[in-house]
Chains A and B, each alone.
Chain A
Amino acid sequence: MQNNLVQYIYGIADNALILGQRLGELCGHGPNLETDIAMTNIALDLLGQTRSYYQYAAKLTGNEATEDTIAFLRSEREYKNVLIVEQPNTDFAYSIGRQFLFDVYHLLMLEQLQNSSDETLQAIAKKSIKEVSYHKRFSLDWIKRLGDGTEESHTKMQNAINDLWTFTDELFYQTDADKAMVSEQIGVDVTQLKDTYYSIISDILTESTLQVPDLKYFQKGGKQGIHSEHMGYILADLQYMQRTFPNMNW
């Protein structure tokens, strides 16, 4: 039970960590100063949420575990984030598309996590909802601007949505740990969120004059620790300092 709970927490927290790391890459590289600050603000929100989850996971794990050992000293297979958050910042449309497809899911999931029978998860969800509501507002606004903008912005936004669509189904996949936590009323039954998710996404895309992709084949694996080729590079950046100079502080 304890181990399932820890794995379940990783499944939520690793999404925030890896997406936060991806957004952090844009620091100093955003399309303009205002958007740069906006996206790194979101990165910091996500890292803040990650810390709360990892601190709880460390307490449950005991021994020498801390939020830092969980963040920096696990191997690739031990990360349980979904594939979509690993996808690179190919261009601004990709970063916005990735954010939008994740934010809508994230908010739906947190709304349910507020009702968890686990008081700590309940509290983290309540705190995070305000932040994630803003993330969604930001990404949704940009989807509309780019989709219903110029011919070029429309094409780029459509390409990004088409390429990222294949990762959306995994959001609703359940691992054994997820199922165990759902049966204890601790975890969120994500399968129940799927229809709402796709109907929200479809409405927004249509309103933004974008096509809803018609795809039959979806990628998955991240939730079981089987990641895309991008993950190794992300972890190399993320973990370098602690691996090279163990226990380093500043």
Chain B
Amino acid sequence: MKNWPLWEVFVRSKNGLEHRHCGSLHASDATMALENARDVYTRRMEGVSIWVVPSKEITASNPDDSAELFDPAKDKAYRHPTFYELPEELKHM
């Protein structure tokens, strides 16, 4: 069991919302990963749908590259859509 691969778990908390990453777990295959995810991450009514993805399939950005990847966005306030007057009826923008 200590050789079981790692899986990333994504849970959708209710219909209409997106799946969100909530953690990881060990399982020998996808079926077991789904069942383990159900038991570990949805036991307090957290979800209505689960995705599991093998952790090794995820390509991550390198933290060493953070400066060139993310820092340049810091002083670009004009990219935030905060300069519009929103109508009253729009609640969730």
Q: Give A contacts to B, CB under 8 Å.
A: 31-35, 37-38, 41, 137-138, 141, 145
Contacts and interface: CB of A to CB of B under 8 A. Distances in A.
A138 B1 contact: no
Nearest to B27: A34
B33 to A, nearest CB: 9
13 contacts: A33-B25, A34-B25, A34-B27, A34-B39, A35-B36, A37-B39, A38-B35, A38-B39, A41-B43, A141-B31, A141-B32, A145-B28, A145-B32
Contacts of A37: 39-40, 43
Contacts of A38: 35-36, 39
B26 A34 contact: yes
Contacts of B40: 33-34, 37
A98 to B, nearest CB: 19
Contacts, number: 29
Contacts of A34: 25-27, 36, 39-40
A138 B31 CA distance: 11
B35 A138 contact: yes
A34 B28 CA distance: 12
Interface string B1-43: 1001000000000000000000001111001100110011001
The 3 closest A-B pairs by CB, nearest first: A34-B36, A38-B39, A32-B1
B62 to A, nearest CB: 29
Nearest to B37: A34
B39 A41 contact: yes
A31 B1 contact: yes
B34 to A, nearest CB: 10
Interface string B29-72: 00110011001100100000000000000000000000000000
Contacts of A33: 25-26, 40
Given A31-B1, A37-B43, A141 B26 contact: no
A141 B32 CA distance: 9
Given A38-B35, A141-B31, A145-B28, 11 more contacts: A32-B4, A33-B25, A33-B26, A33-B40, A34-B27, A37-B43, A137-B35, A138-B35, A141-B32, A141-B35, A145-B32
Contacts of A138: 35
